[in-house]
Structure 1
Amino acid sequence: MPQLVRHSGIAIWAQITTALRGDIEQGLDESDWLPAEPELAARFGVNRHTLRRAVDELVTEGLVERVHGRGTRVLARGLVYGIGRDTRFTERLAASGRTARVTLLERAEIGAEGGVARRLRVAEGAPVLRLRTLRGEDNLSYALTLHFLTGAAAEAARTYEGGSLTRHLREAGGVTLDRVESLITTRLPLPEDALALRMPRNRPVLRVKGVNACRESSLVQEYAISQFRGDRIQLSVAEASWTSEDPLPD
């Protein structure tokens, strides 16, 4: 049985969390299951309330998830997501042996305002198409994105129902979008965004604002604001090959 040190200034549940974190990092793979709570409680010589508090911390850290009626499962290690000219989410997951899930949550016609109008280089009030998508795999959520589209990209996206948006734009409208600028910041998620991402509201997200131009016409046709779960995504930034004379403000 692991040696827990009482009256050390470190809570017993925190010591158990450290021990379980070591088990995950050294011997468990994604989708493995932790032993049942009664077994873990017996292993550490604690009650189930203390054990649950320790596992709660692992859930908050994004290392495990509780599955009703099944137990506690180890989550996938963080995905390295490249931000470059031709960033492609589904292709990135496929290259790592995973299957992407991109779900369309909302589609609406809106008038461009403020930063959206400036980034798309359209007049205030000009009609744009807004999509809200959730990206992940199986029941894991990685990123929530607002897409603001104009021109040929907007026309093609009106028939989009989910899956790879990049592929849909190419197949439905002959539009290939290239990233021309990105701004990466952090922020706390809004309540509805934290709910969609299935994460605590007090954990920051990585926010990426991106401007994408049509390869065929060189016109900006998408402004996207993505919120990534920092505990599941690492952002890899490619060397810049394009310099804007009008950088994105935060």
Structure 2
Amino acid sequence: MTDKTPLWQAIAMTLRSEIETGHYPPGDRLPTEAQLAARFGVNRHTVRRALSDLVAAGLVHARRGAGVFVLSRPTDYALGRRVRFSQNLAAAGRTGSHRFTRIETRPCDRQEAEALALAPGDPVHVIEGLSLADGQPLALFRSVLPGWLEGLPDYARAHASITAALAACGVADYSRASTRITAKLANATQALALQIAEKAPILRSVAINREGGPDDPGRPVEYGRTWFAGDRVSLVLTGL
């Protein structure tokens, strides 16, 4: 006599198939526990166990008070001497965009001064925001740029692009001078912005960019920190 498949497992298999065939694309919210219970004629506890199986398999993510959402497959993100967010995502077949949440000019601290070859207290432009792939949060970022880049905040607001803002300031090309990557756990505010669980793994990149190409580097023009959602990106090192 063949053992019967547990109901929760059969439900998980059905939902897994529907996710993999694109019935629920990345970023979509699954039906509620009550809706799934009604669909399959089971109690909510059985549905909850099926959803837990999908979470463990890395197919979905549960956000408290919001529901269960389908995760996208990790995007390859190249970290080379020239790093351009939109170009990186375009190469992976995805559309990149930025949402700036802070643009201001203030005195720099000692760490920023050292990275940008400035004196402590010199003015810097600070741009913070969220990077998205096909509308889904991929990373948080903070870019600190030297104050001698006159007009940069206005250019950044106008173009919604740091690269375009640098070009408007006369920096036609820039390249990566250094990159340091560290594994971290998301705090509450990072988790909220990235739409992940608090203490979920994230990857922090700390980088310094210089004007000019890799073979002719000039002055530092950007000291950046980026926090990538760990399950949404694969960092690929190229040409470093």
Distance in structure 2 (CA, Å) of the matches to 1:81 and 1:223: 19
Task: Indicate the residue corresponding to 1:3 in structure 2.
Answer: 5
Deviation at 1:229, TM superposition (A): 0.3
Deviation at 1:174, TM superposition (A): 2.6
Distance in structure 2 (CA, Å) of the matches to 1:60 and 1:139: 24
Distance in structure 2 (CA, Å) of the matches to 1:155 and 1:34: 42
Aligned-residue identity in percent: 33
* 2:24/2:30 contact within 8 Å kept: no
Distance in structure 1 (CA, Å) of the matches to 2:180 and 2:124: 21
Deviation at 1:138, TM superposition (A): 4.2
Task: Indicate the residue corresponding to 2:142 in structure 1.
Answer: 146
Q: Return 5+ residue gaps in structure 1 as ranges.
A: 5-11, 241-250
**Secondary structure in 1 matching 2:155:** coil
Q: Map of 1:95-174 to 2, 5 A cutoff?
A: 95-151=91-147, 153=149, 155-161=151-157, 163-170=160-167, 172-174=168-170
* 1:16/1:44 contact within 8 Å kept: no
Change (3 A) 1:112 1:16: farther
**Secondary structure in 1 matching 2:156:** coil
Change (3 A) 1:24 1:229: farther
Q: Is 2:190 aligned against 1:193?
A: yes
**Secondary structure in 2 matching 1:116:** helix
Change (3 A) 1:203 1:149: same
Deviation at 1:126, TM superposition (A): 1.2
Q: Return 5+ residue gaps in structure 2 as ranges.
A: none
Task: Indicate the residue corresponding to 1:246 in structure 2.
Answer: none
Change (3 A) 1:35 1:130: closer
Distance in structure 2 (CA, Å) of the matches to 1:20 and 1:203: 27
Q: Which moved more, 1:223-232 or 1:84-93?
A: 84-93
Q: Map of 1:25-64 to 2, 5 A cutoff?
A: 27-28=21-22, 31=25, 36=31, 40-41=36-37, 46-52=42-48, 54-55=50-51, 58=54, 63-64=59-60
Distance in structure 1 (CA, Å) of the matches to 2:195 and 2:180: 24
**Secondary structure in 2 matching 1:213:** strand
1:199-238: per-residue Cα shift (whole Å, max 9, x none)? 1111121000000001177001110000000110110011
* 1:30/1:76 contact within 8 Å kept: no
Q: How many residues align?
A: 228
Distance in structure 1 (CA, Å) of the matches to 2:11 and 2:96: 30
Distance in structure 2 (CA, Å) of the matches to 1:143 and 1:129: 20
**Secondary structure in 2 matching 1:130:** strand
* 2:76/2:234 contact within 8 Å kept: yes
Name the Cα RMSD after superposition: 3.5
Distance in structure 2 (CA, Å) of the matches to 1:116 and 1:17: 53
Change (3 A) 1:95 1:231: same
1:118-149: per-residue Cα shift (whole Å, max 9, x none)? 11121111111110021013441000000000
Q: For residue 169 of structure 2, what is the amino acid of its counterpart?
A: G
**Secondary structure in 2 matching 1:125:** coil
**Secondary structure in 2 matching 1:118:** helix
Task: Indicate the residue corresponding to 1:222 in structure 2.
Answer: 222
* 1:153/1:222 contact within 8 Å kept: no
Task: Indicate the residue corresponding to 1:76 in structure 2.
Answer: 72
Name the TM-score, length of structure 1 as normaliser.
0.75
